[in-house]
Amino acid sequence: MMFSEIAEQEGVDENKLKKRVERGSVVLLRNSGRDIQPLAIGEGMRVKVNANIGYSPDYVDVKKELMKAEVAVEYGADTLMDLSMGVDLDGMRKKIIEHSTVPVGTVPIYQAFIEKKTEMSKEDILKMIEKNCRDGVDFVTLHCGITLDLVDKLNERLIPVTSRGGSFMAAWMIKNKQENPLYEFFDEVLEVVNEYDVVISLGDAMRPACLRDSSDELQLKELFNLGRLTKKAREANTPVIIEGPGHIPLDEIEYNVKLEKKICDNSPFYVLGPLVTDTALGYDHIAGAIGGALAAMHGADFLCYVTPSEHMGLPGIEDVKQGVIASRIAAHAADIVRLGTKEVDDEMSKARGELDWKTMFRLGVDEDIGERYPELLDKEGCSMCGKYCALKIVREYIRS
């Protein structure tokens, strides 16, 4: 029953969907304890968009984060990740799960590290993952792929680590001179999440933080580790998503997607951006939309939004809106070529040809836009060309 609804929503054959879920090329996000519609991500599905929310240690404001969550979903986010850091993380997590009709993800290691720093034990980590699952999160990012041999080479990079969870695991491994427990005891992690049907998003601790470090040995060695873990997860029937870069030049995007699909046996690919330049400070949502569209065209399945405030601070509410819309444009542009879903584009173009502003405003990526151009509703044409509108001239001369 669940499959038929999802298949219909995604416009795919139910049996195909089932097979892909069995194979692991599609995952369904929903904690067994949650009463939401499961979300399908992966092969042949619409490209999905995630919005990160959550406060920081310096600005704890639960209400504002819940507003951001609402705005994100309103403008088209398919999932939310609560990346809160600071006090009362249990309370925040419960609130966001309670308020959300879309799947929610978390990074349990944040809280584990805040509570015990490098003193945290394997048991502390497993308990924290379990607590998140019990609270109802639908997917968890776990930085399982960073191993001791990688940590030894961090100094080779211009920016060693930008992944927050990755830096926590690296710090732990350096301090304790021990292998990453999430890697070493991955079987135990699988047991925990399986009890709740929680999907693991295998984090990319080694995602490049700048173009200089893109597609380097550290990034790809971690990807091979994630490939090994994917195999184990498949054997335990745990669905996984693979997280990916990061900062990647335009011409490396296609092979990065193909490598992920090859090494991780067609697991869904979840990319952050990718950002195609390091210089778009204040405009990283645009650099990310460029990279995200290209990645999704080549097979990435899940885009983590990037907001205009990326690299500078916690996003404000308007940043969240801008970030979601930019990612939605990228995701839709890719869906057009992956799935041929351009019905809305055709409707929009028909309305455009008829200078039907009301319909155009309704169909656009941001329904608020009409409020910024109220004068158009009473007009035939627009202020760009006035009476010399190409569309009007066409009507006058060509269609007559």
Which of 56/101 has CB closer to a copy of itself?
56
SS3 28: strand
| Residue 75, CA distances (Å) to 68, 251, 285, 301 in order | 11, 30, 15, 19
Instruction: Rule CB under 8 A: say whether 378 interacts with a copy of itself.
Output: no
Residues that contact a copy of itself, how many (by CB under 8 A): 99
Binding to a copy of itself in span 165-224, by CB under 8 A: 166-168, 170-171, 174-175, 209-212
- The pairing of beta strand 26-29 with beta strand 39-42: antiparallel
Closest CB 340 distance from a copy of itself, rounded Å: 9
Which of 34/332 has CB closer to a copy of itself?
332
Binding to a copy of itself in span 247-266, by CB under 8 A: 247, 249-251
Which of 37/341 has CB closer to a copy of itself?
341
Instruction: Rule CB under 8 A: say whether 279 interacts with a copy of itself.
Output: yes
Binding to a copy of itself in span 136-155, by CB under 8 A: 151, 154-155
Q: Which stretch binds a copy of itself (CB under 8 A): 16-24, 140-148, 216-224, 279-287?
A: 279-287
Specify whether the CB–CB gap between 232 and 187 falls below 8 A. Answer: yes
Query: Which residue of 9, 32, 56, 178 would you call a contact of a copy of itself, by CB under 8 A?
Result: 56
Instruction: Rule CB under 8 A: say whether 359 interacts with a copy of itself.
Output: no
Binding to a copy of itself in span 5-44, by CB under 8 A: none
DSSP code at position 278: S
Which of 33/86 has CB closer to a copy of itself?
86
153: its two tokens: 């080479």
Instruction: Rule CB under 8 A: say whether 69 interacts with a copy of itself.
Output: no
Closest CB 49 distance from a copy of itself, rounded Å: 14
Which of 8/345 has CB closer to a copy of itself?
345
At CA 57, angle to CA 283 and CA 69, rounded to 5?
55
Closest CB 310 distance from a copy of itself, rounded Å: 8
CA distance 177 to 158: 24
Which of 13/61 has CB closer to a copy of itself?
61
Single out the residue of 41, 38, 49, 108 nearest to residue 320, CA to CA.
Answer: 49
Closest CB 307 distance from a copy of itself, rounded Å: 10
DSSP letter string, 190-251: HHHHHTTTPEEEE--TT--SSGGGTT-HHHHHHHHHHHHHHHHHHHTT--EEEEE-SB--GG
Q: Which residues pair with 346 in a beta bridge?
A: none
Q: Which stretch binds a copy of itself (CB under 8 A): 92-100, 189-197, 215-223, 312-320?
A: 312-320
Which of 14/366 has CB closer to a copy of itself?
366
Closest CB 90 distance from a copy of itself, rounded Å: 17
SS3 185: coil
- Give the number of other CB atoms < 10 A from CB of residue 302: 28
What is the identity of the amino acid at 238? T
Instruction: Rule CB under 8 A: say whether 63 interacts with a copy of itself.
Output: no
Closest CB 117 distance from a copy of itself, rounded Å: 10
Residues contacting residue 321 through CB under 8 Å, at least 6 positions apart: 71, 72, 75, 366
Closest CB 376 distance from a copy of itself, rounded Å: 6
- The pairing of beta strand 79-82 with beta strand 48-53: parallel
Specify whether the CB–CB gap between 49 and 324 falls below 8 A. Answer: yes
Instruction: Rule CB under 8 A: say whether 394 interacts with a copy of itself.
Output: yes
Instruction: Rule CB under 8 A: say whether 388 interacts with a copy of itself.
Output: yes
Binding to a copy of itself in span 282-301, by CB under 8 A: 282-283, 285-287, 289-290, 293-294, 297
Interface mask (CB under 8 A) for a copy of itself, residues 316-355, using x and -?
Answer: ---------xx--xx-xxx-xx----x-xxx-xxx-xx--
Q: How many Cα atoms occupy the beta-carbon half-sphere of 211 within 13 Å?
A: 13
Residues in the chain: 400
CA distance 189 to 238: 10
Query: Which residue of 7, 62, 114, 236 would you call a contact of a copy of itself, by CB under 8 A?
Result: 114
CA distance 133 to 213: 34
